[in-house]
Amino acid sequence: MGIRKIVTIGDDTLRKVCRKQEKFDLRLAVLLRDMADTMYKAEGVGLAAPQVGILRRVAVVDVTEDHTGLVEMVNPEIVEREGTQTGREGCLSVPGRQGVVTRPMKVRVRFQDRKGNWMEMETEGFEARAVCHELDHLDGRMYIDVMDRELTKEEIEGHIPEDDAQ
Ligand code: NI
């Protein structure tokens, strides 16, 4: 297992636009494995390469509780968006905070796998939210830039009206 250090807000790395991943080699495979390990250890549902200090267009998402839903995305882009959803969101690079963010309900995302094959995935609900959140990281954007409002400490622990909409 390769657990990498997650950079947190205030670090310039999180604000850079990442470069395209050009090589589909062992180094990329190791990065993807380490990113998944790091995400699972931190109990997150997604992680983008700049969060571990790598300015490349690479991200992982897994919204399942038993870690069976890993999606590895290289050079991803959203090609279709549909509807909206409003709900709570957090980020491993913004520890201890949460906000309410409006995202598309459904997205179609095009990306390359670790071997360079192009794929398309359609997803909705919480996974679509996670995909949008991670792709934003690749352009130096974070949820705190686009949130409707920030939650208070009490709201983070408790129920908020937006939870009912999920
Ligand atoms: Ni994040």
Domains of the chain from N-terminus onward: 12-165 (3.90.45.10)
CA of 124 to the centre of ligand 1 (A): 18
Confidence of residue 46 (pLDDT cuts 50, 70, 90): very high
Mean pLDDT across the chain, nearest whole number?
97
CA of 24 to the centre of ligand 1 (A): 24
Residue 103 in tokens: 């995202």
Please name which of 101, 102, 67, 69 lies closest in space to residue 83, comparing C-alpha atoms.
102
Half-sphere exposure of 67 (CA within 13 A, CB side): 9
Centre of ligand 1 from the C-alpha of residue 158, in Å: 21
Catalytic residue (one of 134, 154, 155, 162): 134
Average pLDDT value for residue range 25-48: 98
Q: Report whether pLDDT(166) > 70.
A: no
pLDDT, average across residues 141-147: 98
Active site residue 120: no
Ligand 1: centre distance to CA 16 (Å): 14
66-95 average pLDDT score? 98
pTM for this prediction = 0.96
**Residue 13: which pLDDT band, with cuts at 50, 70 and 90?**
very high
Helix (H) or strand (E) holding 26: helix 26-41
> How many angstroms separate the alpha carbon of residue 150 from the centre of ligand 1?
15
CB atoms < 10 A from the CB of 24, how many? 15
pLDDT of residue 164: 86
Residue 99 has pLDDT above 90, yes or no: yes
